[in-house]
Structure 1
Amino acid sequence: MKIWTSEHVFNHSWETVAQAAWRKYPNPINPAVWGTDVVDRHVDPRDGALITHRIISSQWGLPSWAASILGNPSACYASEVSRVNASTRNFQLDTQNLTFGSHIAVDEKLIYLPHPDDPMNKTLLRQEAVVTVSGVPLTSYMESVLTNTISSNAGKGRAAMEWVIEKVNQGLRSMDDLSHAARKSLEFDAV
């Protein structure tokens, strides 16, 4: 078993980062993830948190030596359960791989929280992945390869979040421009 952890600070509010996390896939920075399907969504009656279960579809792109041991499916799947509590400003995602589950277990947790030093303008992301490989040769080596891949993909994921945030901000600016144009049009019509 190998454990990988990371922390990252986004220079954006929790609300902005949480919105971007929902819109993260698909994106051009990490094209390996090409689909998300909502299986269930409900509000927890105890605390009002939104709980969503999604299936994530992706392509792992295994090295040929690993594909010869495990196989190389055209699609890989993961189960993601998220819990968003707007009142406490906490967004947690727990993801487990479904593909290769009899040999590889990847349990990943992401938590988005307001940054303790600047809760209105910054968001802290805490990530953890636990990788366990069993029943195949070179287990420790494969765990290291997977952990390194997770680390690399985490960087792509953070870059994708920034890309989504920029797109959301552009959309908001476009909406502001549209609203401004509509107000001007109404003012002109009133004259």
Structure 2
Amino acid sequence: MVVAASTCRTETVFDYSWKHVVVAYWNRYPNPSSAHVLTEDTIQREVRDGKLFSRRLLSKTNPVPKWGARFYNNVPVKIVEDSVLDPVKKTFTTFTRNLGMTKIMKVDEIVVYSEQKDGSTLAVRRAYISSQVFGFSRAIRAFGIERFKSNGNKASNGFNHVLRRMFPHSLVGGGHHQPAVTPTSSVAEVPGATTSAPNSSSNHNNIGTLKSTAKVGYEFFKCHATKIAQLFSVKN
């Protein structure tokens, strides 16, 4: 059975070197925008083939809308975060997923931090959100996408706060990039979701494009999630 899901992709440019961004990443919490992050613990870390592999367990909480209270309460949710740091290619990839309430809403997120030509650091975030709640899946996924965007802005602002505090005189890339997250693709659904019939050939083409984009995003998550899980010897 193919579970209906939604995908979203955002980009953020940090006006700090890749090295500084990676160092600051391990010191992100606490910050003024991280009140929803309750705990963080590193449970595994090792160097293999010149790459740093880490696994962390975080506890987060977020308020839910009134209609969501019927499905779950506002209780902390455990998040597992796997990451791979490649100092040669200068890429830092994180993969996070929630451990609890996965039938209600499962969120898989991949973030890739890479060095740019002007010395700044680009963070590309991709989210894959699914729900198995019959009759409410679409609403829950829409809520998840909006929460992903909102939390992305908070995370970006909080991260920039930490970067400014740790490296106050190390701006690169002109220092002109805005801290807010910039969405670069629309929300779409992968196979399994239903859509209403289009009213024109133009709408039909747009929907086809969105579905195609979403399918590519789904395959990206499926491939990378499996690879990262295998690296940590975890059955996905």
TM-score, normalised with respect to structure 2: 0.67
Name the aligned partner's letter for residue 65 of structure 1.
W
Alpha-carbon distance in 1 for matches of 2:168, 2:114 = 24
Once residues 65 and 141 of structure 1 are traced to their aligned partners in structure 2, the CA distance between those partners, rounded to angstroms, is 10
Determine the C-alpha separation between the residues in 2 that align with 1:42 and 1:67. Answer: 40
String of CA shifts for 1:71-109, please: whole Å, max 9, x gaps: 215311111001111222110000001121133210000
Which of 1 and 2 has greater Rg?
A: 1
Distance in 2, Cα, partners of 1:141 & 1:103: 11
In structure 2, the residue matched to 1:187 is none
For each residue in 1:33-80, what CA deviation from the matched residue of structure 2 results, as whole angstroms up to 9, or x when unmatched?
A: 121111111111xx21111111111112112321212x2153111110
- SS of the residue corresponding to residue 167 of structure 2 reads helix
> Partners in 2 of 1:136 and 1:163 — Cα distance?
41
Aligned counterparts of 1:158 and 1:33: Cα–Cα separation in 2: 14
1:56 maps to 58
Instruction: Spell out the pairing of 1:109-188 with structure 2 (5 A cutoff).
Output: 109-115=110-116, 117-118=117-118, 121-169=119-167
The reply on whether 1:37 has 2:38 as its aligned counterpart is no
The 2-side partners of 1:171 and 1:60 are apart by 34
- Aligned residue pairs total 166
2:64/2:74 contact within 8 Å kept: no
Partner of 1:149, secondary structure, is helix
User: 1:113-158: CA deviations, max 9, x gaps?
Assistant: 001x32xx20111100000011343110110111011001101111
Give the corresponding residue for 1:94: 95
Q: Which amino acid aligns with 1:84?
A: L
**Whose RCO is larger (CA < 8 A, sep 6+)?**
2
Quick check: 2:106–2:129 contact (8 Å CA) kept in 1?
Answer: yes
Deviation at 1:169, TM superposition (A): 2.1
Query: Does the 8 Å CA contact 1:26/1:35 hold for their aligned counterparts?
Result: no
Offset from partner CA, 1:8-41 (integer Å, 9 cap, x none): 1111100111111111122211210121111111
Structure 2 residue aligned with 1:13: 17
Going from structure 1 to structure 2, the CA distance change for 1:136 and 1:73 (only over 3 Å counts) comes to: farther
8 A Cα contact 1:76 1:99, kept in partner: yes
Q: Which amino acid aligns with 2:97?
A: Q
Checking the alignment, whether the CA contact within 8 Å between 1:7 and 1:124 is kept in structure 2 is yes
Counterpart-to-counterpart distance in 1, 2:27 and 2:134: 36
> Identity, % of aligned pairs?
26
Cα distance in 1, alignment partners of residues 30 and 102 from structure 2: 24
Contact 1:25-1:34 within 8 A present in 2 as well: no
Q: Out of 60-69 and 160-169, give the one that drifted further.
A: 60-69
Partner of 2:207: none
Report the 3-state secondary structure (helix = DSSP H, G, I; strand = E; otherwise coil) of the residue aligned with 1:52.
Answer: strand
Structure 2 Cα separation of the partners of residues 156 and 27 of structure 1: 10
Name the TM-score, length of structure 1 as normaliser.
0.81
**Separation of aligned partners in 1, 2:134 and 2:51:** 40
**Partner amino acid for 1:114?**
E
Larger fraction in strand: 1
Secondary structure at the aligned position of 1:27 is classed as: coil
Unaligned runs of 5+ in 1: 173-191
Query: Where does the alignment leave 5 or more consecutive residues of structure 2 unmatched?
Result: 171-236
